[in-house]
Amino acid sequence: MTTTGPTGCPIHAGFDPLSPEFLSDPFAVMAALPLSETPVFYAPSIDYYVVTRYADIERAFRDPATYSAAAAQAPLVPIVPEAQQILFAGGHRPAPSMVSLDEPAHARLRKPAARAFAVKRVNDMLPTIRRVAAELLDAVRDAREFDVVGALAFPLPATIVFSLMGVPERDHPQLKRWCGYRAALSWGRPAPADQVEIATNMAAYRAYLRGLVDAKVGERGNDLTSDLLAIHDEDPERLTIAEIASILFSLSFAGHETTTGLIGNTVRRLLEDPSRWDAIVSDPDLIPAAVEESLRFDPSVPVWRRVTTRPAVLGGVDLPEGARLFLWLAAGNRDPSVFPEPDRFDMRRANADQHLAFGKGLHYCLGANMGRLEARIAIEELARRFPRLRLVDGQRLDFHPNISFRGPQRLLVSATGHP
Ligand code: HEM
């Protein structure tokens, strides 16, 4: 139901991005909303203004003076004092890392981190990504049925980004678990009773990363942490040890949760219509376009956030200073004024790469090339080994209860009939 809010903004009182209906099918919720009449609306369930049009989302991304990144990972619900104390003592401050900092603090972290993601450096990782993907798929070579998320989409990006950071393999599962707590804290709706456990784990996660940097001070390796320490050695003021730990905090999460979702969503969308899978099997050159169209059609980061630093008008709605914005990237990616027939998955769409899945502007995703490469190789290896892969019928897909990271938690595929 639409009513009008205090600033004249339409309200959709029933919109709740953490409801079971939304989590299982946000696109059905999107289709039922009158978005052409109410492209910006207020959602009381989360106390956010929801922005759905491509041009309005782009405008917010490209005007950081008006639309601050500070809300990017702010908890959606109040945090109880006991949990807050644990977080604070553990070094988890309100503006805790690159993605939620504004200039100039943002650039201090982004510039050195960007060195690690130069196109050449990412392309150099290609053989490693292919080797890891091949090893993971060898393990399910003879399975008639397997979970493609558990077998490939989950371990591949984690192994790659943690190795890049220099995290020993034995610690990868622990780091993955901490990332689950982080998703719940910043993008979910944790009950007060769960917040202390989450906060304790966040403090342990922060301590682990600081310990990793300290250990690398004495024993450098061929990894990103050691590269960042080399910058610190040249000029300790330019990049402090605490800032290096903060960069690792950013990458350790952003570098895999997102890509796990991308691989899972791409495999799902390709197998949903077996003729799509058959098309990429017979023409693997289509795979990059299939990945790009998945980023548009079903982005693994469907929502990102901003907060206004001053009054502004967006999509015809007056926003007060401090208005919290839910930039619904998945809706912008289906804006018919940019993408004709937006609800159609089309691997030959000419402008699919204009999607909003990686954001825009100063915070544009640092790992976009790496995420694309990992997804491309994952699908290539899968298609080569399992040309007749199909989805297992009748399965129910589950999604982690958070607003910003989306991909099936399990995706059962049937591998029978492959040569
Ligand atoms: C593959 C799927 C991925 C998606 C859909 C994705 C999406 C995003 C989005 C929406 C943003 C925020 C952009 C903004 O605020 O304007 C972002 C930022 C970021 N991403 Fe990604 N990402 C992906 C993969 C990766 C990977 C693989 C890495 C690193 C290894 C990474 C590292 C980062 C970092 C560090 C930022 C913060 C940049 C900044 O604040 O300057 N991402 N990403």
Dihedral sign computed on CA atoms, order 186, 198, 103, 292: negative
Say what the pLDDT of residue 119 is.
Answer: 77
Q: What is the pLDDT of residues 109-137, one digit of tens each?
A: 998 888 777 777 788 889 999 999 999 99
- Residue matched to tokens 């917040």: 195
**Is pLDDT of 1 > 70?**
no
Between 172-176, 261-265, 331-335, the lowest mean confidence (pLDDT) is in 172-176
Residue 367 C-alpha to ligand 1 middle, in angstroms?
6
Helix (H, G, I), strand (E, B) or coil at 10: strand
Arithmetic mean of pLDDT, 296-319? 97
- State the average pLDDT for the chain: 92
Type of residue numbered 338: V
Residue 176 CB coordination number (10 Å): 18
- Six-digit token string for 276: 């799509």
Q: Is 248 in the pocket of ligand 1 (CB under 6 A)?
A: no
Q: What is the pLDDT of residues 41-100, one digit of tens each?
A: 999 999 999 999 999 999 999 999 999 999 888 888 778 888 888 888 877 665 567 999
Among the atoms of ligand 1, which is closest to the Cα of residue 372?
1
Ligand 1 atom 25: residue of nearest CA: 367
Q: What is the pLDDT of residues 130-166, one digit of tens each?
A: 999 999 999 999 899 999 999 999 999 999 999 889 9
How far, in Å, CA of 212 to CA of 166, rounded?
8
Arithmetic mean of pLDDT, 373-377? 97
Among the atoms of ligand 1, which is closest to the Cα of residue 261?
2
Q: What is the pLDDT of residues 333-354, one digit of tens each?
A: 999 999 999 999 999 999 999 9
**Is pLDDT of 328 > 60?**
yes
Say what the pLDDT of residue 416 is.
Answer: 74
Give burial (CB, 10 Å; 0-12/13-18/19+) of 251. buried
